Amino acid sequence: MLKETLRNCTLALEQGGINDAAFEAVCIVEHVTGYSRAEQLAHANEPLTLAQTEKILGITQKRLTRYPLQYLLHSWPFMGFNLSVGEGVLIPRDDTEVCARLCLRFLHSLPRPHKAKALDLCAGTGAIGIALSKLTGASVDAVELSEAAYKFLLKNINAHKAKVTPHQGDITACYTDFKDKAYDLIVSNPPYIPSGELAGLQTEVQHEPALALDGGEDGCDFYRLIIKHWSQKLKPGGAMALELGEGQSEPVAAMMTEAGFADIHTENDFGGTQRAIIGTMLAK
């Protein structure tokens, strides 16, 4: 019966020290049976096929090795959009909604948000760019370096028929290819973990690409680069929004002030960390 398999899966995850065991078990059962949480309750006494039970067991076993749940499920939601994820691409996080919401507020403050042009640097799955484009009608250019991540980006753009144009490129150099571009908004969730902290991250995160996490010695390499080279691609009055790591709001705010940004403010995540920053570029 479904409810027995669900209970066994929850117990195994709990005993394996997985924090949200009950939630993860529901996700795994949903992935295999196609039943949502509510449907799992309604069909609790229904038998599962042997193949389904074995598949649930197999996924649970792999999860117990601390392999990320999201990679096992092959998809994960971000702001209501299901995104394809897997090895080689950073998993979209709830924290990133803080940055995306700052962007939405800015785009909605423009007279014609659907005419806006935005740029998403280090796009990964495309989470931010796709959500912004779907929710405002804005056109988004999305830049991603990694071959593996780029495949997920293309897949997600197509799946959502989003007005997002993908570019495979290295943001430390490819700003020269964007000479004639002018954006209302530039957003990035760049790698921002200090290199020395990578080895201490939880096992799940170790399965994610270091390229998407490693922000150099102080974690701020990409902020310096983006603020220096990419802010020049903003229209006067355009905004730059960046996701932040712990303790990075002060240095990043200082860099933005120095580069000529005004109205700089940050927004906290649920844990009380200043998780995103936005500022607008005044006319020169």
Residues binding ligand GLN: number (CB under 6 A) = 10
Distance between CA atoms of residues 41 and 139, nearest Å: 41
Q: How far is the CB of 99 from ligand GLN (least distance, A)?
A: 10
CB of 246 to ligand GLN, least distance (A): 9
- Exactly one of 3, 7, 43, 93 binds ligand GLN (CB under 6 A); that residue is 93
In the bound state with ligand GLN, the residue whose beta carbon lies nearer, of 191 and 238, is: 191
Q: Which is nearer to ligand GLN, 26 or 102 (CB)?
A: 102
Residue 78 or 192 having the CB closest to ligand GLN: 192
For 57, counting Cβ atoms within 10 Å of its Cβ (0-12 exposed, 13-18 middle, 19+ buried), the class is: middle
For ligand GLN, the closer CB: 53 or 206: 206
Q: One symbol per residue from 182 to 211: x for binding ligand GLN (CB under 6 A), - otherwise; what is it?
A: -------xxxxx-----------x------
Cβ nearer to ligand GLN, comparing 64 with 205: 205
- String of contacts with ligand GLN for each residue 223-252, x by CB under 6 A: --------------------x---------
Our finding on whether 66 is near ligand GLN (CB under 6 A) is: no
Closest distance of CB 112 from ligand GLN, Å: 31
Output 92 or 166, the one with its CB closest to ligand GLN. 92
Closest of 150, 137, 139, 245 to residue 188, by C-alpha: 245
CB of 272 to ligand GLN, least distance (A): 15
**Contact status: 253 vs ligand GLN (CB under 6 A):** no
Task: Say whether residue 213 binds ligand GLN (CB under 6 A).
Answer: yes
Binding mask 26-55 for ligand GLN (x = CB under 6 A): ------------------------------
Minimum CB–partner distance for residue 189 and ligand GLN (Å) = 5
Q: What is the 3-state secondary structure (H, E, C) of the chain?
A: CHHHHHHHHHHHHHHCCCCCHHHHHHHHHHHHHCCCHHHHHHCCCCCCCHHHHHHHHHHHHHHHCCCCHHHHHCEEEECCEEEECCCCCCCCCCCHHHHHHHHHHHHHHCCCHHHCEEEEECCCCCHHHHHHHHHHCCEEEEEECCHHHHHHHHHHHHHHCCCEEEEECCCCCHHHHHCCCCEEEEEECCCCECHHHHHHCCHHHHCCCHHHCECCCCCCHHHHHHHHHHHHHEEEEEEEEEECCCCCHHHHHHHHHHCCEEEEEEEECCCCCEEEEEEEECCC
Q: Who's near 112: CB < 8 A, 6+ residues apart?
A: none
Cβ nearer to ligand GLN, comparing 40 with 243:
243
List residues near ligand GLN by CB under 6 A. Answer: 93, 95, 189-193, 205, 213, 243
